[in-house]
Amino acid sequence: MPAFRSLHPFGTETPDADLRRLSDAGSADLQRAFYAHQVLAVRAQDLTAAQFLAFARRLGPPQPHVIDQFHHPEAADILLLSNVKVDGKPTGLQDAGSYFHTDYSYLPVPARATTLYSRVVPEVGGDTLFANQLAAYDDLPDAMKKRIEPLLAIHHYGNRHDLDEASRTAASPLNAQQKAKMPVITHRIARPHPVTGRKALYAVSGSSFGIEGMPDDEARDLLDELAAHATQARYQLRFRYGVGDVVVWDNAALLHSATLTDPKHARTLWRVTVLESGPRPVLT
Ligand code: SIN
């Protein structure tokens, strides 16, 4: 069993796991840590694309990102995140997810986990913020818990707080074909975690644009009130990367946001997102 250290105010990290040689028992240890702490960091790895993908597959079936121009050339399930340009051309998706959201909440079967593998760490910045939606739900007044219990939020691809496609804090722009693939769907706002059953506030910022059966302005006010509550500093973990770090987070339990990095400081990560469908993970 690898040694784990707590991150603050939640999350856990281990400096002594090697994801190239992960046994089934070692994978079960990491999964237990992941579901108990919502963010798991495995420090200082040296992985090929195939090894990184094999680790992500342990958590669920990968879903390639709709933005297919930045898929890894050896593995379409890996999305390249980068602010590096070569001959003026981007080598990856820049500024992806620079607002609080949860991955694939705009899909009918959303993301179970996202894992990032940090390849180039900027000299300054480049952290990822996480906000704990289990704690945010627990802290709601009983009257609010009762109010949101039956409610379904309406989701589609985008960031409801920033719709300007030229903005660094909007959702990454899609082309016409990619937009045509994106559905409008609903998810519960007070959503039981699909593995642990614990309720969390689900995707109250990011892709939630309305609430079924509620006038738009009332729905928007309620979502904004919940988002302001859910993203308070006391629910946030700021994760700082070292080269080779693999971080994996629980999308049913968290919101997360990239932080804007000065483009003069190179930052590159590989990303795989796995869906909630597929076999339930081993938790015993
Ligand atoms: C993401 O939201 O997938 C990207 C997070 C990051 O780059 O820090």
Report the pLDDT value the prediction gives residue 284, as an integer from 0 to 100.
41
| pLDDT attached to residue 278 | 66
Residue 175 CA to ligand 1 centre (angstroms): 20
The pLDDT value given to residue 283: 52
Going from the Cα of 256 to the center of ligand 1, the distance in angstroms, rounded, reads: 8
Domain range list for the chain: 6-259
Helix residue spans in 160-262 (DSSP H): 176-180, 216-230
- Return the residue matching tokens 């769907």: 185
Query: Which atom of ligand 1 is closest in space to residue 114's alpha carbon?
Result: 3
Residue nearest to atom 2 of ligand 1 (CA): 97
**Atom number in ligand 1 closest to CA 256:** 2
Q: How far is the CA of 260 from the centre of ligand 1 (A)?
A: 10
Ligand 1 center–CA 186 separation, angstroms? 23
CA-CA-CA-CA torsion sign (143, 149, 154, 157): positive
pLDDT score, position 277:
83
User: Cα–Cα distance between 33 and 93 in angstroms, integer?
Assistant: 30
For 185, other C-beta atoms within 10 Å of its C-beta total 17
Residues near ligand 1 (Cβ within 6 A): 81, 96-97, 114, 128, 256, 258, 269, 271
Low pLDDT (below 70) residues in the chain: 278-284
Atom of ligand 1 nearest to the CA of 259: 8
How many angstroms separate the CA atoms of 186 and 138, rounded? 22
Residue from 39, 81, 273 whose mutation best tests the ligand 1 pocket (most atoms within 8 A of CB): 81
**CATH class of this structure's domain 6-259:** alpha beta
Distance from the alpha carbon of residue 116 to the mean position of ligand 1, in angstroms: 8
Residue pLDDT, tens place only, 171-226: 999 999 999 999 999 999 999 999 999 999 999 999 999 999 999 999 999 999 99
Atom number in ligand 1 closest to CA 128: 8
Which residue's structure tokens are 């986990």?
113
Ligand 1 centroid, distance to 259 Cα (angstroms) = 8
Q: Where are the beta strands (DSSP E) in 11-149?
A: 12-14, 39-42, 71-72, 75-82, 85-86, 89-90, 111-120, 128-132
Distance 121 CA to ligand 1 centre (A): 13
Dihedrals phi, psi of 254, to nearest 5 degrees: -135, 160
